[in-house]
Structure 1
């Protein structure tokens, strides 16, 4: 599978976004042009096999990783105690 050229900082950011439960694959595609299959291939290439298997098991079927499957409209929960708007 052909992956676009990404520098190490962008690869690290894609891995971080893919690891996060609430970041949908669509957000990664919008920012980096990587489809879900390409993200999976990148994760497989960049991670240890055991870490990849653990991630893959966790995100398979996870509704929050796909915008169309989400049951909520808003973004992340924000406590009233947090700073910022």
Structure 2
């Protein structure tokens, strides 16, 4: 697990932004930044006020679009900068 001090502030801001977006799956964050869902949750817990974190967790817990395997569609707005190998 990467801890937030190892990440640049701009990177942390982008991860938080992607985590808040309903249509950006955790898999996209993992692909781009190498953070698993549990790592993103831990980062969000550290970076947010507890009330904001609870509100976010309630939203993503019931949000089917945050997990690729639960989606009813394949393509989203996320476009990886990495090429598939």
TM-score interval for Structure 1 and Structure 2 normalised by the shorter chain: 0.7 to 0.9
User: TM-score scaled by structure 2?
Assistant: 0.83
Distance 1:72 1:51 in 2: 29
Equivalent position of 2:63 in the other structure? 62
Q: Unpaired segments of 5 or more residues in structure 1?
A: 77-85
Deviation at 1:75, TM superposition (A): 2.2
Equivalent position of 1:15 in the other structure? 16
SS of 2:7's partner is: coil
Deviation at 1:54, TM superposition (A): 0.2
Cα pair 2:24 2:76 within 8 Å, conserved? no
Aligned residues: 75
Q: Unpaired segments of 5 or more residues in structure 2?
A: 78-85
Cα deviations by residue, 1:21-78 (Å, 9 ceiling, x for unpaired): 00000000000000000000000000000000000001003110011110012324xx
Counterparts of 1:11-50 in structure 2 under 5 Å? 11-50=12-51
Higher radius of gyration, 1 or 2 = 1
Q: List, as ranges, runs of 4+ consecutive aligned residues in structure 1 with deviation greater than 2 Å.
A: 73-76
Distance 1:40 1:70 in 2: 20
